[in-house]
Amino acid sequence: MKGNFFFTSESVSEGHPDKVCDRISDSIVDAAMVQDPNSRVACETLCTTGLIIVSGEITTKADINYAETARQACREIGYTDSGIGFNADSCGVLTSIHPQSPDISQGVTEGEGLFVGQGAGDQGLMFGYACDDTPEFMPMSIQLAHQLMYKLAELRKSGVLEYIRPDSKSQVTVEYEAWRPKRIDAVVISTQHAEDVSLETIQKDMEKFVIREVIPPKWLDDRTKIYINPTGRFVVGGPHGDTGLTGRKIICDTYGGMGRHGGGAFSGKDCTKVDRSAAYAARYAAKNVVAAGLAWKCEVALSYAIGVSEPISVNIDTFNTAKVDEDLLSKAIRDCFDFTPGGIIEDLNLRRPIYTKTSSYGHFGRNDPDFTWEHTDKVDELKKALGL
């Protein structure tokens, strides 16, 4: 990619059908964690017109009412009226749950597998990314796209915009010059709405109450293109308009396409699954590197073998932006961060019911104390390891 380019990222609201499924799956993870922090959860959800299907491999001491947990997740989103296409209290809920495979369990449980220590729950590769585009150390396009969706949800839930329905999407295109954000070239918002509201009203309100409130004026100019409900109508939405599945919005969940992705989804998985926990750990390391001023872009790549504690590989890429020797930086990261599954879980305190709120508006770039992988408490340790 050249130093001058346009880059686009999208976000979707909690009422998007795929995000409905992510929230249900993560609500089940949390329900298990409340009663049994050592629960093993791999939960997948499908939702469509009038129906939720919950399936997966779950081993837990917790007593979970899966149907009620799914319904409550939908209620919290706002799907409580059949008139908008989906009703948490009248839809059908089917469940098919069985325990985790003992062959997998013995590789994850400390002292039971072929290797010493708690092993990874699966093979795979995970990436963490950070850059100095924004105060949150996230690419600007995805950060603003999330903020637009979060603001729209606030306006819907507070009743300021009563005609808005839960299903929405946003998209932001940033123009970069010499690798730095220069301006916003385009903003797209598509939102589900009541049938009796005019497109003109929606377009006016989205620009006034959402776009102009979220995006600082310095990034918008007279060449910025704004598209609001560009089909002209978005009444049918949510699970009634499109079937949803857990784990289909992994780029929205991470870096909007700016950083690489190993392919594994996060939602519905407990912290022994490195798809989730190692991706958090990689972000934790990359963010601390950038926050320490050691580089203005950083990507950390990890890979694992099932049942093995130590990562198979650890790779650091600063895209030629490092302010110190990259080999020394790589060694410092390995010295300062424990990338074993057990170490990640302990260092980030992941055996807690914190996952439902990760299911919408991104797993990264969030100012929430429960998002421990967003802390920058390793800055001084990294500098010390480098002799700075």
Structure confidence by residue, pLDDT tens digits, 162-198: 999 999 999 999 999 999 999 999 999 999 999 999 9
Residue 108 pLDDT: 59
Q: Is the pTM of this model over 0.75?
A: yes
Residue 26 φ/ψ, nearest 5 degrees = -70, -30
When pLDDT is cut at 50, 70 and 90, the band that residue 352 belongs to is very high
Q: Which residues are 42's β-sheet partners? A: 57, 269
**Summary mean pLDDT of the chain:** 93
- Residues 71, 93 contacting (CB under 8 angstroms): yes
Mean pLDDT of 132-157: 97
Residue 120 pLDDT: 73
Mean pLDDT of 133-140: 97
Mean pLDDT of 344-354: 97
Mean pLDDT of 188-209: 96
Mean pLDDT of 278-285: 98
Give the DSSP letter string of 42-102. Answer: EEEEEEETTEEEEEEEEE-S----HHHHHHHHHHHHT-EEGGGTEETTTSEEEEEEEPPPH
Structure confidence by residue, pLDDT tens digits, 322-341: 999 999 999 999 999 999 99
- As given in the structure block, the two tokens for residue 223 are 């060449």
When pLDDT is cut at 50, 70 and 90, the band that residue 204 belongs to is very high
Residue 87 pLDDT: 94
Residue 119 pLDDT: 66
Asked if the model's pLDDT at residue 43 lies above 50, the reply is: yes
Asked if the model's pLDDT at residue 106 lies above 50, the reply is: no
Q: Is 26 or 306 the better-scoring residue by pLDDT? A: 26
Look at residue 340 and give its three-state secondary structure: coil
Residue 40 pLDDT: 92
Packing angle, helices 341-348 and 274-291, rounded to 10:
60
Percent with pLDDT over 90 in the chain: 88
